[in-house]
């Protein structure tokens, strides 16, 4: 739940003088030269980024041959990143996959699918460079020069296409709102700056660019007078970050409530078209912590227009009915008990074989709909497919669709309920899947104490919770894997991809001699295109929402309390406790959390508990 991905360098900060100079440069020159239209802004920021990338390549090459110093190299990386941040909102809007792959992706090994085979790829781009130049840069001279050259090449390719790309009015608004999400969920958490933690100056660079774009866009839309609040909020947000002090000192909760959310709502008011929630991100949402921020139907085969109360009620009946299992003894609720926040409180769930358990711990189904991959090993791609795995698993329902449908079609009550929802006299597999999905989709719990505070529905929240949130999103680095607002591995700002992590969870943390849990995780999910060594012991990053109600923790249920979980992360995971873990993606260094900080983290996680509208449903 806590911890930062580790890449190829160590986490150190840039020299303070470099930060101040670069930030000042970013602020004072954002409005120079004057822009007549938004396209001119886009082209100017693109050109600035390309020039910075070219200069970086020159300096990195000189550094390789001892003709440039480390400080000069660090300044060049910083300047390139600040230039990129000005253009990021529009470049990432049109080319998100290219940006992730070549420009600013996470500094971790990943796979590329080639003829259904997985090929392990080294990371590249600005995040990798950020780590390298703040770590042992001398040892990485050749790699730094090579990556800088690649960045220059990819930047040129990207911008050659972008300069032919028209940017429409509403696309600007969407791009800017997505950038606000990106700043909050990946920028100020340190995700984007894994080596330098130079998150605040980069956020200032982004917001300054948004201010420039907004001023010209308002003029183009003839809404200059009505845009005063937007410009004022942007100015105030920039000033707030400039006065924040260090990365650890930033009050992220105040930044969210007073600036990010108001800006997010204010930009929506500029939209001139009716917004339809067809994607995962709901463009019509007015708050990043709004219950409708994400569209749950994006993640399911069930469409919103097909869903209704009758179908949901039918799905609920199926969920609690042991008739679905081969021995008529196990229902979905056996492992996902509403009284236990739709988990089961066991280390590993009971199976249909007496005295045996299933392979792993049961995660909560609350908010489970918000995912593109299911199970700890990510072997299922939809809610419907997730149910299918349970149905066929010999340790769970141990049956098949044909047997279930025969039982349902032989049951007069079920025939009537299905006819009410779908018409016709025969129950089929698609109808069964949609009914069950309807109920699981309804298990949304986004009304916790913290959610209400973030939405300004309550005026106060405990100071310990506030500190815990700021730690979660900052020093403790939890938010770099458990992304807001789902606090899971669903990656912002588009929320269409799930991450998995290698944490090095031990088999028994209380054992005198500890050893890594033998579960192969994602490597054993039987998806051929993901059979790569980097996924050994890699498990889906699940939500921390309702974690206060769903002990024990991790895929093997080996940790009994949240306090123990926090200690595990603070110690650097499996590698930090001395285990040999291949490709651990969690940083192995201690987070150096105090006892008080640990208590605050737990308090924040507890503030995300919410079953009020679900319990007993």
Separation of alpha carbons 321 and 609, rounded Å: 27
Preceding amide of 285 cis, omega within 30? no
Give the per-residue pLDDT at 5: 54
Nearest to 462 by CA among 445, 450, 451: 450
Low-confidence ranges of the chain (pLDDT < 70): 1-36, 273-277, 613-617
> What are the residues facing 117 on neighbouring strands?
114
Give the per-residue pLDDT at 10: 40
CA torsion 448-295-311-397 (nearest 10°) is -80
Contacts 24+ apart (CB under 8 A), 246-251: 247/13, 247/190, 247/197, 247/199, 247/200, 247/474, 247/475, 248/474, 248/475, 250/188, 250/200, 250/470, 250/474, 251/470
Under DSSP, the state recorded for 586 is B
Is-above-0.85 flag for pTM? yes
Give the per-residue pLDDT at 115: 80
Under DSSP, the state recorded for 104 is B
E-state strands within 457-513: 500-502
**Any idea which residue has 């309807």 for tokens?**
438
Give the per-residue pLDDT at 3: 52
Give the per-residue pLDDT at 617: 44
251: number of Cβ within 10 Å: 17
Distances (CA, A) of 559 to 262, 347, 525, 566: 39, 9, 23, 10
CB-count burial class (<10 Å; 0-12, 13-18, 19+) for 36: exposed
Domain spanning 16-272, CATH architecture: Up-down Bundle (1.20)
Q: What φ, ψ does residue 502 adopt, rounded to 5°? A: -100, 110
Token pair in block for residue 145: 């020069």
> What are the residues facing 483 on neighbouring strands?
488
309-319 vs 429-442: helix crossing angle, rounded to 10:
90
Distances (CA, A) of 14 to 33, 197, 361, 372, 394: 29, 8, 42, 37, 55
Give the per-residue pLDDT at 611: 83
Give the per-residue pLDDT at 614: 64
Give the per-residue pLDDT at 594: 98
Token pair in block for residue 347: 């280390």
Three-state DSSP state, 201: helix
In this chain, the answer to whether the domains covering 16-272 and 449-607 adopt an identical fold is no
The separation between CA 521 and the C-alpha centre of its own chain, rounded to angstroms, equals 20
Domain spans in the chain, listed from the N-terminal domain onward: 16-272, 298-442, 449-607
Separation of alpha carbons 506 and 577, rounded Å: 9
Give the per-residue pLDDT at 467: 98
- In this structure, whether the domain defined by 298-442 belongs to CATH 1.10.760.10 is answered with yes
Separation of alpha carbons 327 and 158, rounded Å: 58
Separation of alpha carbons 536 and 520, rounded Å: 5
Q: What string of H, E and C letters represents the secondary structure of 153-174?
A: HHHHHHHHHHCCCCCCHHHHHH
Give the per-residue pLDDT at 79: 98
**What is the CATH topology of the domain spanning 449-607?**
Cytochrome Bc1 Complex; Chain D, domain 2 (1.10.760)
């Amino acid at each position: 739940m806590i911890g930062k991905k580790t890449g190829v360098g160590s986490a150190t900060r840039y020299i303070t003088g470099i930060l101040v100079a670069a930030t000042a440069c970013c602020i004072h020159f954002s409005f120079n030269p004057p822009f007549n239209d938004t396209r001119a802004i886009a082209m100017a920021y693109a050109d600035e980024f390309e020039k910075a990338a070219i200069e970086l390549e020159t300096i990195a090459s000189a550094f390789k041959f001892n003709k440039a110093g480390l400080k000069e190299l660090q300044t060049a990386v910083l300047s390139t990143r600040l230039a990129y941040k000005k253009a990021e909102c529009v470049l990432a809007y049109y080319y998100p996959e290219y940006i992730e792959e070549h420009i600013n992706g996470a500094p971790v090994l990943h796979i590329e699918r080639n003829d259904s085979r997985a090929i392990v790829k080294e990371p590249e781009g600005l995040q990798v460079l950020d780590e390298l130049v703040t770590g042992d840069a001398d040892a990485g001279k050749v790699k730094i020069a090579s990556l800088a050259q690649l960045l220059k090449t990819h930047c040129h390719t990207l911008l050659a296409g972008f300069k032919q790309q028209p940017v429409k009015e509403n696309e600007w608004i969407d791009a800017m709102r997505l950038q606000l999400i990106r700043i909050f969920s990946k920028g100020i958490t340190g995700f984007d700056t894994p080596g330098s933690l130079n998150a605040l100056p980069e956020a200032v660079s982004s917001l300054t660019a948004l201010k420039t774009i907004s001023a010209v866009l308002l003029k183009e839309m003839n809404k200059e007078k009505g845009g005063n609040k937007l410009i004022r909020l942007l100015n105030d947000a920039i000033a707030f970050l400039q006065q924040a002090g260090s990365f650890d000192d930033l009050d992220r909760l105040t930044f969210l409530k007073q600036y990010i959310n108001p800006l997010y709502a204010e930009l929506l008011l500029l939209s001139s078209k009716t917004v339809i929630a067809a994607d995962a991100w709901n463009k019509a949402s007015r708050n990043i912590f709004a219950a409708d921020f994400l569209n749950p139907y994006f993640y399911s085969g069930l469409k919103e227009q097909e869903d209704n109360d009758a179908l949901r009620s039918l799905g609920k009946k199926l969920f609690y009915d042991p008739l679905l299992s081969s021995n008529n003894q196990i229902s979905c609720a056996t492992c996902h008990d509403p009284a236990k926040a739709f988990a089961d409180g066991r280390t590993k769930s009971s199976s249909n074989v007496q005295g045996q358990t299933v392979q792993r711990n049961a995660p909560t189904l609350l908010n489970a709909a918000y995912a593109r991959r299911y199970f700890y090993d990510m072997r299922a791609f939809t809610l419907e497919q997730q149910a299918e795995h349970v149905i066929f698993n010999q340790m769970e329902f141990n049956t098949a669709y044909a047997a279930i449908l025969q039982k349902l079609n032989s049951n007069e009550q079920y025939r009537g309920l299905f006819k009410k929802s779908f018409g016709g006299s025969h129950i089929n597999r698609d109808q069964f899947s949609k009914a069950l999905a309807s109920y699981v989709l309804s298990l949304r719990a986004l009304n916790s104490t913290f959610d209400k505070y973030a939405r300004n529905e309550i005026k106060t929240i405990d100071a310990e919770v506030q500190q815990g949130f700021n730690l979660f999103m900052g020093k403790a680095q939890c938010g770099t894997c458990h992304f807001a607002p789902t606090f899971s591995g669903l990656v912002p700002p588009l929320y269409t991809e799930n991450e998995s992590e290698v944490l090095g969870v031990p088999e028994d943390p209380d054992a005198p001699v500890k050893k890594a849990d033998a579960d192969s995780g994602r490597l054993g999910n039987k998806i051929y295109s993901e059979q790569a060594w980097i996924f050994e012991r890699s498990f889906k990053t699940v939500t921390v929402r309702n974690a206060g109600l769903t002990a024990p923790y991790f895929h093997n249920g080996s940790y009994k309390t949240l306090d123990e979980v926090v200690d595990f992360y603070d110690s650097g995971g499996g590698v930090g406790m001395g285990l040999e873990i291949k490709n651990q993606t969690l940083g192995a260094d201690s987070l150096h959390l105090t006892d008080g900080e640990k208590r605050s983290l737990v308090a924040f996680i507890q503030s995300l508990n919410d079953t009020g509208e679900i319990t007993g449903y």
